[in-house]
Amino acid sequence: MTIRDRQEYSLTIDGNALALLDQGTVTLDDSWAPYVQAKLTVLTPVDATILDSRDLPQVTLKLLQQFGDGLQFTSDLTTMFAGGTSASVTALWGGWATSAVTNLIGAWNSTRIAATSLEANLYITAVTHHPDGTTDLSLASGEVTLQGVRQTLRIAATNGSIAEFFKVTIRDIFPYLSSETLVAGDADAIIPADSLAGIFGVPPASWNSDHWSLLQGFATMADLRLWCHPDGIFRLTPRWESVPGTIALDSIIDAPETINREDDSWADGVIVEYLEDPTTPERPTVSDAGTTTATKVAVVNINVVTPLGGEYVDPAPAAILARMLERGRSIEVTNVNRFNTAPNMAVTIDEPALGWLPASTGVVDAVTFDLETKQMRVTVRELQEA
């Protein structure tokens, strides 16, 4: 059965629309930072200085897929019910599941299919103006704001909570954020108070690493992952935390399988290296996992002095190794865009035409939405026969 959809894209800066061309890509990948990276092209605005990447301007990207004429964004509801009361909403949607709001009115398909969307607050990191009146933009999620900063941290003594430390640090970068910079209830780990004394008792004069490396050093040791959600708010989550929901890949255009030991994301041994600090020679600079029997060893450099002793450092490479072992064999599915696809989401593949691949389940490793072809490339790991 042919599925009919329509895809619309928009890009705004300070509420003003940019003329976004139907080309470019948007990638979500939790194996790199920034988590969201995009390459887009717009018509050069009259005042091109608003795109100056040296100012890290923030833009809002909306990707929307409809399967009929219907409501999509919450703002559509506001427009539709402006001046009304909640009773008017109830009158229209009474008896319907919440998902019906995102479903279709006047569907183009014989079955209702929920609309998909992705809204991302991104920063412009590079701009190229072309003589033909177009401008290429490189965009990235909030991690980029931490990656270039090396100023003295104004860190008060913390209670040993990694999450609290992150909040203080992130607020230091985003003083205009008055509310949460990390989502409440996210994962945490406690740093022993005695280990903190030498680090946070007195604000250091300077750090020999950028803020991102500093925070990642802590997160890695606690087997946590700090990342910036497309909504612009940072998350501190268990490294293996899955994303709710399952994406069914049911409009497959291609699905090659790759087994590649040269892939940088695969190794069967890991060494984690930290910076050396002559003032704290007792801090380890190296920890490893699996290296005695490994056939390929990956070296992960963390550009920060280890803030903790060996017993806290040792779990880090094991966690990284476990993740790397899941890679190396992957299937890259080209499917029609589904903008609700995200890394760490469960995925099902049931396409009889893929004779070599029985109905399977897996986990989304990364996804790239192509705005020109209207198709996405989904890298799937942990494939298991359903």
Tell me which residues touch other proteins (CB under 8 A). Answer: 1-7, 108, 251-255, 336-337, 351-354, 373-375
- The smaller minimum CB distance to other proteins, of residues 2 and 86, is found at 2
Task: Supply the minimum distance, in Å, between the C-beta of residue 68 and other proteins.
Answer: 10
- The smaller minimum CB distance to other proteins, of residues 46 and 97, is found at 46
Q: 279: which DSSP letter?
A: T
- The smaller minimum CB distance to other proteins, of residues 52 and 372, is found at 372
- The smaller minimum CB distance to other proteins, of residues 15 and 256, is found at 256
Task: Supply the minimum distance, in Å, between the C-beta of residue 26 and other proteins.
Answer: 16
Half-sphere exposure of residue 314, counting CA atoms within 13 Å on the CB side?
3
Task: Supply the minimum distance, in Å, between the C-beta of residue 22 and other proteins.
Answer: 8
Task: Supply the minimum distance, in Å, between the C-beta of residue 338 and other proteins.
Answer: 11
Nearest Cα to Cα of residue 122 among 185, 63, 194, 183: 63
Task: Supply the minimum distance, in Å, between the C-beta of residue 49 and other proteins.
Answer: 23
Task: Supply the minimum distance, in Å, between the C-beta of residue 65 and other proteins.
Answer: 8
Q: What are phi and psi of 197, to 5 degrees?
A: -55, -45
Cα torsion angle, 82, 87, 88, 92, sign = positive
Cα torsion angle, 146, 150, 156, 158, sign = positive
- The smaller minimum CB distance to other proteins, of residues 133 and 310, is found at 133
With contact defined as beta carbons under 8 Å apart, do 301 and 276 qualify?
no
Task: Supply the minimum distance, in Å, between the C-beta of residue 378 and other proteins.
Answer: 14
Burial class (CB in 10 A: 0-12, 13-18, 19+), 65: buried
250: Cβ contacts below 8 Å, ≥ 6 apart: 335, 350, 351
- The smaller minimum CB distance to other proteins, of residues 55 and 250, is found at 250
Question: Which token pair is 124?
Answer: 């412009």
315-325 vs 211-221: helix crossing angle, rounded to 10: 90
- The smaller minimum CB distance to other proteins, of residues 15 and 355, is found at 355
Distance CA 5, CA 305 (A): 51
Element of type H or E holding 373: none
